[in-house]
Amino acid sequence: MKLWFKSGSPWVWMTAGAVSVSLISVIGLLLLIASRGLTYFWPADIHQFEITTQAGVSKTIIGEIYEKEQVPTQQLVESGVLFKETQGETVERLLIKTGNREYVDLDFQWLLTTYIQQESTPTGLAVFERSKNGNFYGYLDSIIQDGKVVTENKNQLLAELIERAVELNDKALDLQNGEIGAINYEFERLRLKQRKHELEGDLTEQVKLEIEAQRDALQAEYLTYEKELFEYRNLAKRDSVIIKDMRGELVTIQLNYILDVIFPNDMSTIEKLGQFGKQIGKFIVNDPREANTEGGVFPAIFGTVFMVMLMAVIVTPFGVIAAVYLHEYAGNSAITKIIRISVINLAGVPSIVYGVFGLGFFVYMFGGSIDQLFYPEALPGPTFGTPGMLWSALTLAILTLPVVIVSTEEGLSRIPGSLRQGSLALGATKAETLWRIVIPMASPAIMTGLILAVARAAGEVAPLMLVGVVKMAPTLPLDGNFPFVHLDRKFMHLGFHIYDVGFQSPNVEAARPLVYATSFLLVTVIVALNITAIGIRNHLREKYKALDH
C-alpha cells in the first residue's frame, strides 16, 4: 500500500478523475439542456386530481405535472402541515401547471401527494393554446357556430373552426404587418421628406402640395385596408367554444383567441410524436407572444443569423489579410512580434469592453456623425446614432477578428513551402502565388476560422446588450420597404432572449421551459458549428501531413 502510494499511481488516478469530472459536467450539461429543452415540446398527459386539503375542502385540479420534489417531513410539519398518517423522511410534492390564468390566482400550484384522493388522466381533456393568458385546460362542452349551439361531432368541427379562425387572424396580421406597415413607413418617409425640404429652405408651396397629395392618397389607401382588416377580425370573432374547467364551471372563449387545441390524453405515441414535431416547427417559425413568455423565437433566430452573417462579411477579409500579412509578408521583426501580441490581446480583452467601445465609438461618435451629415431631417431622433444591427455586427467583427486570424494563419503554416517555391520558380509574382495557390489551399482553414467566429458571435451577449439588442423588436431588419435592408434597426438575439426571458420576465416559472428550449436551440447551432469546424480542421491536418512527406 505504502509502496503503491510512493509510486504516485494514486495521483495519476486523481488527475484521471479530473478528466472524468470535466467530461461528465460537459456531457451532463448538454443532456440537461437537451432534456429540459425538448420536453417543452412534448404534449404531456393532463392529470385530473381529486384532492382534499387540510381544511377538509375537496376540489378538482386539472393540469400538467411540471416538477416533482421531495420535501423533508420535518420542514412541512414545522410550517403547519398536519399529517393523518405517519410519513417517511420526505413527502413528495408536485408542481402543477393549471393554466386558466384569468380564473385562478396562480397558474402554478404546489400539491402535496398526501392530499390526493384520486388521480386520473381522463380522455376528453383538452389543452387550448391561446394567444392571450396562456393555456386553458378543460373539457370541451359545446361549440357556438355562428350563433348556433352545436354539440355533435364537436372535436372535428372545433378543429375546422379553429383552422378557419387562425387563417383569418393570419390574414389580418399579414395585412397589418405588410400593407398597413408599408403605408405607415411611407407616412414617416413623407414626414422626413418635408422636414428635409424645410431644413434646406426649399419647401415651396408646390412641394408642400405634392407631399400633401401623396399623403391623402396614402390615407385613402389606408382606409380601405383598415376596413378589410376589421372585416377579417370580425369574421374571426364569429365562433366561440364552451369549456368546462376544473371548477366545474362553463367558460366561453372566442375562437379568435385560440390557436390550437389538442387532446393529449387521447393521443397515441405516434400522434404525440407528430405533435412534438409540429410544436418544434411552430417554435422556430412563430413570433413570441405575451412578453416573450409564449410562442416562438423566429425574430430572435432571424436577428442572430442576420447579424452573424453581416459580421462574417466584415470580418473575413480583414482577418484573412492580417493572417496573410503575419505569415507571408512579415519577417520576424519587432513589429510582427507586437502585432502577434496584439492579436492575442484582442482575443483576451473581455467582451464587455468591446461593447463599451462599440457604444462609445461606433454608436455615439460614428453613428452620431452619420446622423448629422446624412439624416439631419430625422434629428433629434437618431437614425444611426443609436444602437443597431450595423454597430453590433461591427463590434462583433472586431471581437472575432483574432479567431479568424489565428485559424487562417494555422492553415497557411500547414501549406508546404515547396508549393510556394514551385509557383515562384515558374515565374509567378508573390501576389499571384498567394492568390492562385496559397489562398485556395488555405480556404478550408479560412472556413474553419469563419465558422468558429460565427459560433463565438452567435453566443456572445454582453457587448450586444450595449450596441443593439432589444427584448422586443417590432420590425425585422429585412422587409419589403425600401431600402429593404435596415441596418439601423435594433434586433432580437437568441442569447439575449435567454437572459431576458429567464431573468427579466414577470412570470419566470411559466417562461422557464421556453428558456430551456431556446438554450437548446442555441447550443445545438453552436455545437454543430464547432463540430463542423473541428472536423474540417482535423481533415485539413491529415491532408497536409500527407503532402509534407
Partner 1 sequence: MSSTSDNALKTESTRLLKDKVAKYGVTAGGIMVLCALLLIFFYLLYIVKPVFNAAEIESVTNIDELTQIYASVAVEEQNEIAFALTEKGLVDFYALTGNKAGQLILSEKIPAVSEITAFDASAPQKGLYGYINQQSELLIIKPDFRVTFPDDKRQLLPYISYPFGESTISLEADSLFTINKFSFATNEESIGLIHQHSDSKIYFTKLEGEENMFSEEIEWTANSTELTQISGNILHTLVSPDLSRAFIITTNQLYVFNTRDSSDVSLLYNVNLIANLNSNIQVTAANLLAGANSVIVGFSNGVLEQWFETNSDQGRDFVKVRQFELSGDAKGSSVQAIYPEFYRRTFLAATESGHINLFHTTSEAELWQGKLADGKIDSLAFSPRSNAVISIANNTLNISKVENEHPEVTWSGLWQEVWYEGYPEADYVWQSSSASDDFESKFSLVPISFGTLKAAMYAMLFAVPIGLSAAIYTAYFMAPNVRKFVKPTVEIMEALPTVILGFLAGLWLAPVIEDHLPGVVLLLILLPITIILTAFAWHNLPAKIKNTVPQGWDSIILLPVVVIVSYMAFSLSPLVEEWLFDGNTRLYITNELGINFDQRNSLIVGIAMGFAVIPTIFSIAEDAVFSVPKTLSNGSLALGATQWQTLVKVVLLTASPGIFSAVMMGLGRAVGETMIVLMATGNTPIMDWSIFEGMRTLSANIAVEMPESEVGSSHYRILFLAAFVLFIFTFVVNTIAEFVRQRLREKYSSL
**Cell for 541?**
491536418
CB of 492 to partner 1, least distance (A): 14
Of 83, 110, 329, 374, the one binding partner 1 by CB under 8 A: 329
Q: Within 299-328, which residues bind partner 1 (CB under 8 A)?
A: 318, 321-322, 324-326, 328
Three-class SS string for 177-228?
Answer: HHHHHHHHHHHHHHHHHHHHHHHHCCCCHHHHHHHHHHHHHHHHHHHHHHHH
Rounded CA-CA distance 265/65 in Å is 13
45 Cβ contact list (under 8 Å, min separation 6): 64, 121, 264, 265
Of 185, 276, 302, 357, the one binding partner 1 by CB under 8 A: 357
CA torsion angle 479 482 487 488 (round to 10): -110
Span of 202-210, 278-286, 476-484, 528-536 interacting with partner 1 by CB under 8 A? 528-536
Of 38, 144, 346, 419, the one binding partner 1 by CB under 8 A: 346
Of 122, 124, 274, 360, the one binding partner 1 by CB under 8 A: 360
Cβ closer to partner 1: 96 or 458? 458
Q: Are 26 and 14 in contact (CB under 8 A)?
A: no
CA 397 centroid distance within chain = 21
CB of 21 to partner 1, least distance (A): 6
CB of 305 to partner 1, least distance (A): 15
CB of 318 to partner 1, least distance (A): 6
Cβ closer to partner 1: 68 or 337? 337
Q: Within 99-128, which residues bind partner 1 (CB under 8 A)?
A: none
Q: Within 24-83, which residues bind partner 1 (CB under 8 A)?
A: 24-27, 29, 32-33, 70, 72, 74-75
Of 18, 220, 270, 546, the one binding partner 1 by CB under 8 A: 18
Give the per-residue contact string, 173-192, with partner 1 (x = CB under 8 A; - = no): --------------------
Q: Within 392-451, which residues bind partner 1 (CB under 8 A)?
A: 398, 401, 405, 429-432, 434-435
DSSP for 400-419?
Answer: HHHHHHHHHHHHHHHS-HHH
Of 130, 420, 456, 471, the one binding partner 1 by CB under 8 A: 456
Is residue 6 exposed (0-12), middle (13-18) or buried (19+ Cβ within 10 Å)?
Answer: exposed
Cβ closer to partner 1: 248 or 350? 350
Rounded CA-CA distance 440/434 in Å is 8
Cβ closer to partner 1: 169 or 395? 395
Is residue 202 exposed (0-12), middle (13-18) or buried (19+ Cβ within 10 Å)?
Answer: exposed
CB of 26 to partner 1, least distance (A): 5
Rounded CA-CA distance 90/88 in Å is 5
Does position 340 interact with partner 1 (CB under 8 A)? The reply is: yes
CB of 258 to partner 1, least distance (A): 30
Rounded CA-CA distance 308/517 in Å is 21
Strand 108-112 and strand 240-244: the pairing is unpaired
Q: Are 61 and 111 in contact (CB under 8 A)?
A: yes
The site for partner 1, by CB under 8 A, has a size of 103
Of 21, 31, 159, 209, the one binding partner 1 by CB under 8 A: 21
Beta bridge partners of 251: 243
Q: Within 490-519, which residues bind partner 1 (CB under 8 A)?
A: 495-496, 498-499, 502-503, 508, 512, 515, 519
Does position 87 interact with partner 1 (CB under 8 A)? The reply is: no
Does position 350 interact with partner 1 (CB under 8 A)? The reply is: yes
The conformation of residue 359, written as its DSSP 8-state character, comes to I
Cβ closer to partner 1: 123 or 333? 333
